[in-house]
Structure 1
Amino acid sequence: MLVPPHKAPRSHLSHPKPGLHLYRNPNNTLCGGGLPSVKTLEPLAMVHTPAATVPIPPTSEDSHEAMQASGRSIHEEHVRSMEAVWHGEFSKLFSQFYPHLWYLIPSPAAPSPRWYRFRDSAKVRFSCQQCGNGWTSMKGRVIFWYYLNPQGVPVPEGYLHFKLYGQQCKRCKNGRFEMAMWYPEEVVKVLGNVYNRVGQTYYGFYQPPLRQDRRPGKPRTQHNAELCQACKDGECTNAH
């Protein structure tokens, strides 16, 4: 259960401040409103939609090209869906810290060792962009780093950086980490958890219980640490 310190005015919730948005600048990099561009970002994860997740294997060069084109289209659609879900849930939760402004920013690493850190896990799905192989993992990982700058002008500003971890395809083993497709309910869960943690750190929330439930599922294969980006970074144990 979320425990906000107070409710924001309805006008603020209906018209979120610029800092509650993700922006894409002309260089196709993402940044928070009013912040410098982040030029070395990890790819964003995708939100899972059940239709057309795994392309049919090709039977000719033409069909292979068609599959790649279809895969790119599906990939772009997932990215747009992902941005909408993450942005929408973030805005709904963090606008409750009004009048403080909070920014959601993808990041490849911790902005500073002084920032607070929160790690969470979720059930996610992957689809190889090269061969179409699909698989599910109960060990999807996200790392959040957060900091509230009390000297923000005209009001204090908070920054929530995050990194979404990928996995390699066991068929291709090409060294490329595929982006995770996040289920919307898992996005709601992890953002709710980090919202409560931020509230506990800066806004006097009582320590709330963290949601550790995950979408039901039984992956067909065991977790392979050699193919897991979070394992390679030492982030794939004890989700919190």
Structure 2
Amino acid sequence: MISLWNISLQEKISELHDDTWNIEINETIVEHRAARDWHQYISGSFAQFKCSLCRKGWGSKRVQVLFNFHLDTARNQGTIKVRRFKQKCRRCTEAQWEDPNFPVENIDVLVERLVRNIRIKCYREDLGQTNRSSVFNGRINGPHESAHCEACHKGVCSQAN
């Protein structure tokens, strides 16, 4: 999974000076707890989920993704930590938190937004306003269900009721 994120990152960040950037999935990072000299960015996108118990699948239009990033200028090394917030199946009483499966196009959009933030925060570039939308495949009906959203449980969901 990380390879898709890394491929997208390397395509979009290659023009940034001579710095090397690495990306890693980290399910322990939390909002507003970024270490000193680290920046934080939260974005949302469409993703699919599948219950590991009943195999039911569902989509969500606003899956939260938290990025912590840092540039070590002395070493020309940038580090990005990514937390993809999970959801639970609403059918299963013993449901587990399931990982989101983002379409490749949406990973590209999320990484593009992240790189924009990196350019602003780490390189102090003035980039003006732009906003590329995520791709949404399918039909989603019904309200956001906070009880099944990990981001709601952690207080970082923009869709909380």
Q: Same fold (TM over 0.5)?
A: yes
Alignment size in residue pairs:
154
CA RMSD of aligned residues (A): 1.9
Residue 176 of structure 1 deviates from its aligned partner by: 1.5
- 1:201 paired to 2:121: yes
| Counterparts of 2:77 and 2:11, CA distance in 1 | 17
Amino acid at match of 2:68: W
Residue 88 of structure 1 deviates from its aligned partner by: 1.0
Q: Retained in 2: the 8 A contact 1:109–1:163?
A: yes
SS for the counterpart of 1:191 is: helix
- Is the helix fraction higher in 1 or 2? 1
SS for the counterpart of 1:170 is: coil
| Counterparts of 1:227 and 1:158, CA distance in 2 | 34
| Counterparts of 2:113 and 2:98, CA distance in 1 | 25
**Corresponding residue to 1:230 among 120, 144, 151:** 151
Structure 1 segments (4+ residues) deviating >4 Å: none
- 1:150 paired to 2:73: yes
Gaps of 5+ in 1: 1-81
Q: Retained in 2: the 8 A contact 1:170–1:227?
A: yes
Residue aligning to 1:70: none
Q: Retained in 1: the 8 A contact 2:6–2:22?
A: no
Residue aligning to 1:117: 40
Residue aligning to 2:108: 188
**Distance of aligned partners of 1:100 and 1:120 in 2 relative to their CA distance in 1, 3 Å threshold:** same
User: Which structure has the larger Rg over C-alpha atoms?
Assistant: 1
**Distance of aligned partners of 1:209 and 1:195 in 2 relative to their CA distance in 1, 3 Å threshold:** same
Residue aligning to 1:167: 87
**Corresponding residue to 2:62 among 139, 149, 165:** 139
Query: TM-score under structure 1 normalisation?
Result: 0.59
Aligned-residue sequence identity (percent) comes to 19
Amino acid at match of 2:39: Y
Query: TM-score under structure 2 normalisation?
Result: 0.86
